[in-house]
Amino acid sequence: MRNYPESVEFLYTLGNELKSAKLGLELVGLLWQAMGFHGTQPPVIHVAGTNGKGSTCAMIEAALRAAGVRTGLYTSPHLIHPTERIQINGRPITPEQFAHAFDTVHRTAQRLIADGTIAHHPSYFETVTLMAFEVFVDQNVDRAVVEVGLGGRLDATNVVKPELCVITPVDFDHEEWLGKTIESIAFEKAGILKPGVPAVIAAQRPAARAVIEARAREVGAPLYYAAEVTGPVPCSLAGEHQVENAKTAARALQLLGIPLDGMARATWPGRLETVSRDPLIILDGAHNPAGAKALARYVQQQFAGKRVGMIFGAMRDKDVTEISSILFPLADELICTAAGQARALPPEAMLAMTPHPNARTAATIGEALALPRDCDVLLITGSLYLVGEARALLVS
């Protein structure tokens, strides 16, 4: 059996999580069946969307846990440690649990490869998805909240048989895989809808809403709307965009018969997270245009008249030109840097795309943080990988 570092190393050998993504359910479905999850998986709240998936999952999970439900939570990506992706009762699993779950999935995959049932090992995301359910079953969770990784229709998590589906706002992201129109992206997200399974949808662009509603009618999924939520809705997360996420989570919880009070306990690291008061430092993984616009609104509302510093980094496959054009004008001083990822865009390339009158570059987040600054608030934003590296350095 591999130990935790060896398990993580093997997962990384499977290739970059996004580039090696294999959209399709056949392989993961065969492994799901071989591992005996049919009939043993806990009830699942399955959450898709472009932005707000993780926040919505966090609020649903917090309320379930506050109501005495033994919870499982599966989200991606992680900020610092892969164990963060799989949580039991609000806590990441231990390295030992991670390694044991990996070993179980890996041995099953090897057996199916040997007998010709499958042709190759499951991808990074497929493997960790199966690991999550191995842990959930082993730990006897009462309910699991599961975030879709990419899209929905062909995402590895779509092998689940949910008790409730949730779709947060649909916007542009991952167009290379999901299509270049809102309609095509919404079609992929709506692929999680199942016959007879109720679904809650957040406020949507009209085109996205029309696609989701059409898919719900086609499969016979009862549809409910976040706007229908009744009573006060607690929200502990910063940013006006979290109000819609909170309404969406609350409507889902009301359908499940769960009190909303526990939503106030939700935390979601790396998303408008204040990690220092003096100096004021805020982390936010605004990694697509919609996320950048939400961050811009927050900055304009909270820090008008303040001097804003920004450390920014992004991945090559993101719409860096649009994201930077939204965020860079907010910054009185800018430091472009790169996360320690092969997909990271070089800092000089970012500035070539969107010049800034007071910009510097740094090779790493550590070097960026060490540079002298003259600002009232420092935003560290862009890639969630960059935010994770910053959080590891700033949060003890």
Ranges of H-type helices in the chain: 4-13, 26-34, 53-66, 95-114, 124-138, 175-178, 182-189, 206-219, 241-256, 289-302, 320-327, 347-353, 365-370, 384-394
Tell me what pLDDT residue 18 has: 52
pLDDT surpassing 70 at residue 16: no
Strand order in the sheet with 359-361: 273-277, 280-284, 377-382, 308-313, 333-336, 359-361
Domains contained in the chain, CATH given: 4-265 (3.40.1190.10), 273-394 (3.90.190.20)
Percent of the chain with pLDDT over 90: 91
pLDDT surpassing 90 at residue 290: no
Amino acid of residue 31? L
Residues 234 and 264: beta-carbon distance below 8 Å: yes
Percent of the chain with pLDDT over 70: 97
Strand order in the sheet with 223-225: 91-92, 86-88, 71-74, 143-147, 44-48, 164-167, 199-201, 223-225
Q: Show the tokens assigned to 133.
A: 């359910």
pLDDT tens digits, one per residue of 79-118: 999 999 999 999 999 999 999 999 999 999 999 999 999 9
Q: Show the tokens assigned to 191.
A: 């692929």
CA atoms within 13 A on the CB side of 283: 24
Higher pLDDT, 332 or 343: 332
Looking at residue 158, the DSSP 8-state letter turns out to be G
Average pLDDT over residues 154-172: 96
pLDDT tens digits, one per residue of 111-147: 999 999 999 999 999 999 999 999 999 999 999 999 9
Tell me what pLDDT residue 38 has: 85
pLDDT surpassing 70 at residue 275: yes
**Residues 42, 106, 77, 393: what is their CA dihedral angle, to the nearest 10 degrees?**
120
pLDDT tens digits, one per residue of 176-199: 778 889 999 999 999 999 999 999
CA atoms within 13 A on the CB side of 59: 31
The rounded distance, in Å, linking the Cα atoms of 314 and 309 is 17
The rounded distance, in Å, linking the Cα atoms of 384 and 371 is 21
Burial of residue 262 (CB within 10 Å: 0-12, 13-18, 19+) is: buried
Q: Show the tokens assigned to 253.
A: 């919880």
CA-nearest of 306, 350, 299, 295 to 332 is 306
Least confident of 236-240, 259-263, 286-290: 286-290
CA atoms within 13 A on the CB side of 364: 7
Looking at residue 185, the DSSP 8-state letter turns out to be H
pTM of the model: 0.93
